[in-house]
Structure 1
Amino acid sequence: MKFVIAPDSFKGGLTASQVADAIETGLKRVYSTANYTLVPMADGGEGTVDALVHATHGRQLTTTVTGPLGTPVSAHFGLLGNGRTAVIEMAEASGFQHVPESKRNPLITTTYGTGELVSKALDHHVDQIIIGIGGSATNDGGAGMAQALGVELLDQTGNQLPFGGGHLNDLAAVNLANRDRRLDHTHLLIACDVTNPLVGPTGASVVFGPQKGASPSMVATLDHNLRHYAAVIHQTIGRDVATVPGAGAAGGLGAGLLAFTNASLKRGVDLVIQYSGLKDKAAGADFVFTGEGKIDRQTQFGKTPYGVALAAKEVAPNAPVIAIAGNVGSGINSLYQSHAINAIFTSVAGVKTLDDALLEASHDIAQVAENVGRLIQVTMNK
């Protein structure tokens, strides 16, 4: 019997690899000699580097880059097993974890460190970079990223703009003369699960600015500044990024990547499925296990369990897909009606505090996997 185990992380608790290990542990208590294929997954956000490095037998590298507040931070990125593809999570360099809540201010935070990560990946002679752009603490339209890669964003006096979305209204000219030429021969795949444009009522500043510390007046300023930034980009280099779906992701980093690199936007989970080789690994499966921290009606909109289920059904249409989650929310009937996920189980055993649930997550996941395994055994023995 072949079990394919392809979960996402339980954010704040276990990595995808740890979740997969726990599910395998539980199932082996029932099926000790079965074939187990573990494919830790992600949706382009946290855990994407770990998932793809694990799946391709690649390696991780750690470096120091400029954090969102302009101070040095430690960040890691991955090189996939093919030696030609790098994978980056922008949050490693420019994410919330580097900014204390009391210092969140998207007028000044920068994506410069994300650009430095891209540059360091290019040092390894890759021809493709996958970049997950969730979890940003920034709203600078990718301006800092561009500057780190040699793009000059100049004010009327010919000086480089300072860091942060608060200065984008001073942009007068864009100079690409010193842009890193390695970008001409490198394709950037942007793992993006939102469709927000750069500006307007559903744009980066209005929708995501408040969670990054923006007051209503700051939101208005940031949106105005991004609109000006996009207009200057359009006028000077001919790329219109203001209304492209997904350009508003990560405080407009999507727009910056589309403007200044050879980039395209893709759904994060689809990229991970492709580069992890999930479909090939799921072929011939008897059962597929997936999961993440929370499963609810939103799961079918680009989340890992749904993507895994659809991919698995393509190559193993008769294999039931079983999902395990720490929290099962409302609206899961839509997942059943889609015929993608066949059964959903919560892993939390009994009433407990959040701290205890996180502490005991591995044990609880193994236990529910064992319980499901015993149900499968009873059903198959009838």
Structure 2
Amino acid sequence: MKVIMIPSGFKECLDAEEVACAMGEGAKRFDPFIKTEMIPMIDGGEGFTKAIVKIKKGELIYKDVTGPVGERINSYYGIFAEGHTRTAVIEMAAVAGLKLVPRHQRNPLKTTTYGVGELILDALNVGVDKIIIGCGDSGTSDGGAGMAEALGVRFLDDQQHVVKVRCGENLVKAATIDLTHLDKRLCDVSIDVACNWKNVLCGERGVARVFGPQKGASAEQVDRLSMALEHYADLIEKSTAMDIRHSPGSGASGGLGAGLLAFTGAKLHPRFDLIMDFIQIEEKIASADLVITAEGSLDFQTPDGKIPCEVARIAKKYGIPVIAITGTIGRGAALNYDRGIDAYVSIIQKPVTLEKAMFKAPQWIEESVESILRQITIGLKMADQKNAGERIVSYGKESRPI
């Protein structure tokens, strides 16, 4: 039996490579000689930059920038070269991710993407031809306004005075957007963004209402943030003639997708499509007997372009069964059965605190993979016994199935 394991990371707990390592250990516990291959997958979130830099044999550039709650942090981006083209890889999670927002400060009205803009500026300073940005695992909902300010965009009030927006709650203070100081070098680079294609900026399915609560917003704060982003969309339309309210991907990473569209000329891509340019998995899936994937939370959002369902979509082309392991099984998880996942299981088998679950996650992933493979082996043995019994009876005087 050949098993291919293609996990994503467990948000705020383990990156994809750490999950893959634990899955591999679980397979060895079952059988040290089993044929396995681990392929850690990235979705634009945590681990995006390091994974691509590793594949492309590039380097990491470390830089002190503004973190999501306004303090200075040490972040990084990657650089790799192909021919005469130098490409920067920026991962918003490494500068404005939810993991960087202390739990007692989780209020998406107050977090900023300013540091994302600072990393883009540094990449321009070192001289790149192309920028790839991964949107995922964000702790912000400022519509990319903070990033835009770092790049030279100015927000003005009714008196044409500059307003330091930096975060979502201050968007309503702006009356106009001034683009005259936007860094001109952005015109000379191409920017491609890996994002959740189904996330939009505004409306009932807008980023404030869908993801605001996950980032710590109360119902009242969600309403305020939604109204602020609607106002922001109006300002963008007036200054750029672009209506990005419901553009695919505009709601990615708390609306960072909208800011990248409006101010940098970026092209947004479904994250899996862009990532497949770097990580080739289809041929490997086609050669497998079983695929095991993983995600921190499996719920109604998983079918919207997340790794388990994208992996399952490919596997189904070849009739390969797919099992997903997850930290938590959330609302609407059963929808994933219709998207190619044949079974799923949580690594958490009893009530436990979040802190303990995060600490024990590697061990529980190992145990879950071992258990899955043992159960499959039982099924295979039962099938073999039944087939053997049918063959024996068919050779007797009365040929009949049993």
* TM range, smaller chain: 0.7 to 0.9
**Cα deviation code 1:165-193 (max 9, x no counterpart):** 41554343422454242444212214125
Cα distance in 1 for residues equivalent to 2:192 and 2:182: 19
Cα distance in 1 for residues equivalent to 2:257 and 2:207: 10
Deviates more, 1:57-66 or 1:108-117: 57-66
Give the equivalent residue in structure 1 for 2:393: none
8 Å CA contact 2:60–2:77 kept in 1: the answer is yes
CA separation of 1:53 and 1:320: change in aligned 2, threshold 3 A: farther
Give secondary structure in 2 for the equivalent of 1:255.
helix
C-alpha deviation, 1:103, in angstroms: 4.8
Greater RCO structure (CA 8 Å; 6+ sep): 1
Aligned pairs (5 A) from 1:312-331: 312-314=315-317, 317-329=318-330
Percent identical residues:
39
Letter in 1 for 2:268: L
1:181 aligns with 2:185: yes
1:195 aligns with 2:199: yes
Cα distance in 2 for residues equivalent to 1:353 and 1:143: 36
The alignment's C-alpha RMSD in Å is 3.4
Cα distance in 1 for residues equivalent to 2:34 and 2:58: 26
Deviates more, 1:370-379 or 1:303-312: 370-379
Cα distance in 1 for residues equivalent to 2:102 and 2:236: 32
8 Å CA contact 1:40–1:54 kept in 2: the answer is no
8 Å CA contact 1:89–1:131 kept in 2: the answer is yes
CA separation of 1:215 and 1:303: change in aligned 2, threshold 3 A: closer
Letter in 1 for 2:305: G
Give secondary structure in 2 for the equivalent of 1:324.
strand
Give the equivalent residue in structure 2 for 1:94: 96
Letter in 2 for 1:236: S
C-alpha deviation, 1:298, in angstroms: 3.9
Give the equivalent residue in structure 1 for 2:146: 144
Letter in 1 for 2:192: L
Cα distance in 2 for residues equivalent to 1:99 and 1:369: 32
Give the equivalent residue in structure 2 for 1:63: 63
C-alpha deviation, 1:327, in angstroms: 3.2
CA separation of 1:184 and 1:245: change in aligned 2, threshold 3 A: same
Aligned pairs (5 A) from 1:39-188: 39-54=39-54, 56=56, 58-79=58-79, 84-100=86-102, 103=105, 109-122=111-124, 123=126, 125-139=128-142, 141-155=143-157, 159-163=161-165, 164-165=167-168, 166-176=170-180, 178-188=182-192
**Cα deviation code 1:66-91 (max 9, x no counterpart):** 12343312223334685754433323
Cα distance in 2 for residues equivalent to 1:88 and 1:64: 14
TM-score normalized with structure 2 length:
0.78
1:299 aligns with 2:302: yes
C-alpha deviation, 1:333, in angstroms: 4.5
C-alpha deviation, 1:150, in angstroms: 2.8
Give secondary structure in 1 for the equivalent of 2:278.
helix
Cα distance in 2 for residues equivalent to 1:8 and 1:187: 24
Cα distance in 2 for residues equivalent to 1:226 and 1:367: 44
C-alpha deviation, 1:31, in angstroms: 4.4
Cα distance in 1 for residues equivalent to 2:352 and 2:215: 31
C-alpha deviation, 1:260, in angstroms: 0.9
Deviates more, 1:249-258 or 1:228-237: 228-237
Give secondary structure in 2 for the equivalent of 1:32.
coil
Give the equivalent residue in structure 2 for 1:279: 282
**Cα deviation code 1:183-214 (max 9, x no counterpart):** 4421221412543333x444444555566566
8 Å CA contact 1:90–1:136 kept in 2: the answer is no
**Cα deviation code 1:135-174 (max 9, x no counterpart):** 23342x3222112223344446655431334155434342
8 Å CA contact 1:273–1:308 kept in 2: the answer is no
C-alpha deviation, 1:40, in angstroms: 0.9
1:255 aligns with 2:258: yes
Cα distance in 1 for residues equivalent to 2:328 and 2:61: 33
Letter in 1 for 2:201: P
Give secondary structure in 2 for the equivalent of 1:113.
helix
8 Å CA contact 1:196–1:249 kept in 2: the answer is yes
C-alpha deviation, 1:16, in angstroms: 1.6
8 Å CA contact 1:161–1:168 kept in 2: the answer is no
TM-score normalized with structure 1 length:
0.82
1:234 aligns with 2:237: yes
CA separation of 1:13 and 1:143: change in aligned 2, threshold 3 A: closer
C-alpha deviation, 1:336, in angstroms: 3.4
Where does the alignment leave 5 or more consecutive residues of structure 2 unmatched?
385-402
8 Å CA contact 1:130–1:188 kept in 2: the answer is yes
Cα distance in 1 for residues equivalent to 2:152 and 2:158: 19
Cα distance in 2 for residues equivalent to 1:238 and 1:210: 31
C-alpha deviation, 1:100, in angstroms: 4.3
C-alpha deviation, 1:368, in angstroms: 2.9
C-alpha deviation, 1:290, in angstroms: 0.7
Residues matched between the structures, number: 377
CA separation of 1:179 and 1:152: change in aligned 2, threshold 3 A: farther
